[in-house]
Amino acid sequence: MDARAALAADIDRAARLKGTFKLRSGQVSDEYFDKYRFEADPTLLARVAAAMLPLAPNDAEVLAGLELGGVPIATAMSLQSGKAAAFVRKQAKDYGTCLAVEGGSVAGRKVAMIEDVITTGGAVRDAHRLLVEAGAIPIAVVCAIWRGDGEPRIDGLELPVLAALRRVDLAEVAKT
């Protein structure tokens, strides 16, 4: 088994749960993918970050983790690469600094947006807007898992979307 398949198998083993789960849609499922399980395992998180780092453009100056799942991944990538990290909230807080983008300044800096799982990219579009408002120059989106259909891309966002794993990678290992 190659490294990519091994990572997919370990993520699947950690995050795919069996039982009875109510989904956001209101439907009930006998299976649930809990992405926070692979992000909370330090060894697995380090492997995910290592798989994502080569996908980030070399000229990215900041790794911007999207709330909530992208934050631990961006932190792990920052620790491994020495690149600065920033954290993008879903909306600016209404106290303290009142910022939507936390950490060091992103103004005028090239930023790789870091996300855990992307299906349609709605949260990424929202974070992109907040980064641009903060003066950042977003240059790519890097995710752990692309769960969408077809090639990774986000409607309305003209940035490359680079995925360490795709839904098909997890589907393949789930069969075994």
pLDDT tens column, 69-114: 999 999 999 999 999 999 999 998 899 989 999 998 999 999 999 9
The residues facing 51 across adjacent strands are: none
Least trusted range by pLDDT, from 45-54, 59-68, 97-106: 97-106
Tokens 């989106």 locate to 141
Inform me whether the pLDDT recorded for 24 exceeds 90.
no
**Helix axes of 42-52 and 3-15: crossing angle, nearest 10 degrees:** 140
Which of 75, 74, 167, 164 has its CA nearest to residue 120? 167
Band (pLDDT 50/70/90 cuts) for residue 59 is very high
More confident residue, 127 or 25: 127
More confident residue, 62 or 173: 62
Q: What angle do CA 149, 153, 154 make, to 5 degrees?
A: 105
Q: What is the mean pLDDT of residues 129-151?
A: 95
Mean of all residue pLDDT scores within the chain: 94
Which of 83, 65, 82, 66 has its CA nearest to residue 74? 65
Helix, strand or coil, per DSSP, at residue 14:
helix
Band (pLDDT 50/70/90 cuts) for residue 162 is very high
Query: What is the β-pairing status of strands 62-66 and 84-88?
Result: parallel
Q: Could you tell me the domains of the chain?
A: 3-175 (3.40.50.2020)
Q: What is the mean pLDDT of residues 16-45?
A: 91
Tokens 């855990």 locate to 116
